Structure 1
Amino acid sequence: MSSISMRKTTLAAAGLAVAGTLVLTGCKDGNEELTPAAPSAPAAQPSQPGGYATPPAGAPSSPAAEGYDGASGAPAGGGGAVATSGQAFKIGQAATVPFTSGSKTGQLALTVTSIEAGNPADLASLNVADKVKGKTPFYIHYTAKNTGTTDLSFTSVGHMKGLLDGGAESDVLLVVGKFDKCPSESLPSGFTNGKSQASCAIALAPTGAKVTGAEYWGDPYNNLNKPAQKGLTWK
């Protein structure tokens, strides 16, 4: 995966740089800011609103465990049909996607499991109040399951962003280092066929707005040199 710019580049595992670095990106124009986060400080634990979006009725309560494939409605254990550009899924459904990281090429089943409304105070430990003023964090929880034959140990998925209730892209907050409210780590050692890992992406919405959907824009679903390509969405 190549860069941190949500439209123009991709994020590589090697680019995770120094632990404790925070990146705030605006998805529309690709601008970014780097700000040091508090070193290894535990996230604040104030009360917060409950989850905003939940799996739809009839969807498996644990999509990754049950292998539910949103593209075909069939078990995803064998990979299922690969999702097409711009394909839409319901929260709780899995999308089978090709996956490339460095020299590794494989296949994943990605499932957005919930979108949880957070509290601005959650971000206090990151010392970025001036960067997130007037914004509310939303936590996009998703799972990645290896449905291919390649060992994807230590690769990073990422490329997940939020969609506001009107359809516009939200800002994205990337934290390199530990953030308990929304943990996001590279895939572990031994991440072979059938292995799953939960992850999280932080979306920022203007106060009063809500993040009601998510979009995966990893290759080949980004428009880098492929203007006709569109991301996969969950709502």
Structure 2
Amino acid sequence: MSTIGTRGTAVGFIGLAVVGLALTGCKSGNEEQAPAPASPSAAQPSKPAQPDTSATPPAGGGDVPAPGTAGTAKSGQSFKIGEAATVPFKYGTDKAGTIALTVTGIEQGQAADLAPLKLGDKVKGMVPYYIRYSVKNVGTTDLSHTSVGHIKGLLPDGSEAQGLSIIGTFEKCDDDSLPRDFTNGKSQTNCAVALAPSAQTKVVGAEYWGDPYNSLKDGKSLTWK
């Protein structure tokens, strides 16, 4: 993993996306840890979090159904782009609930879009794709200020595209935490960046690999194509 940084510019961390291995550290639940930015914007590879093995139920709601029960998505279930998956959701150790997660579109960007992130040769030849997705609170708990991460791009052979987490403002792909009073019925649209290795290879699908799917013994991601 390499680090690039200059005074007043973005800081970038780039590395191979490896399922189950977080090169920059992780938190429990759906949080993705990143080093503090040295400037208004930073980028780093996005990785699935390690399983949350805590036995303490979240204080924000203990009514989270297991995957495949109460109408929630089964481990490994596939959806069409635009189709919602009902997902048991945990954030850290203090909030939990149920969300409807929908990948609404995958847009191809331009290599030049990455220039503000100052990643240089580490992304040479790569093409960004923007995975647009919506989150709706369909449970009974307030999910204020939580964050739904673990949205990845999929390449034609089924492998995972390189992910990129953005700290700060990236106009091409806004990815904000959920707002205050994110209660039942509230929704928000977000975006995740996936990097295709070349102009000849496209990002053709997306996956969600958040807890509890990543903590199941035989867990598999949810996919959209």
Give the equivalent residue in structure 1 for 2:97.
Answer: 106
Q: After superposition, where does 1:125-144 map in structure 2 within 5 Å?
A: 125-144=116-135
Aligned residues: 180
CA deviation string 1:88-112 (max 9, x = no partner): 0000000000001121110000000
Amino acid at match of 2:178: L
Aligned equivalent of 2:78, options 69, 88, 92: 88
CA distance in 1, matches of 2:19, 2:177: 18
Provide the aligned C-alpha RMSD in A: 2.4
Match of 1:123 among 89, 111, 114: 114
Match of 2:41 in 1: 20
2:212 maps to what in 1? 220
Q: Percent identity?
A: 54
Q: Which runs of 5+ in 1 are unaligned?
A: 28-78
Task: Give the TM-score, by structure 1 length.
Answer: 0.71
Q: Which whole-Å deviations, capped at 9, do the CAs of 1:89-143 have from their partners, x for residues lacking one? A: 0000000000011211100000000000000001111111222111100000000
Does the 8 A contact of 2:20 with 2:47 survive in 1? no
Residue 12 of structure 2 corresponds to which residue in structure 1?
none
Give 3-state SS (helix, strand or coil) of 2:204's partner: strand
Work out the CA distance in 2 between the residues paired with 1:106 and 1:125.
36
Report the 3-state secondary structure (helix = DSSP H, G, I; strand = E; otherwise coil) of the residue aligned with 1:214: strand
Q: Which ranges in structure 2 are unaligned for 5 or more consecutive residues?
A: 1-16, 49-68
Using the alignment, how far apart are the partners of 2:158 and 2:119 within structure 1?
26
Residues 62-211 of structure 1: matches in 2 within 5 Å?
A: 81-102=71-92, 103-207=94-198, 208-211=200-203
Please tell me whether the aligned partners of residues 21 and 47 of structure 2 are also in contact (alpha carbons under 8 angstroms): no
Residue identity opposite 1:217 in structure 2: W
| Structure 1 residue ranges, 4+ long, deviating more than 3 angstroms after superposition | 8-19
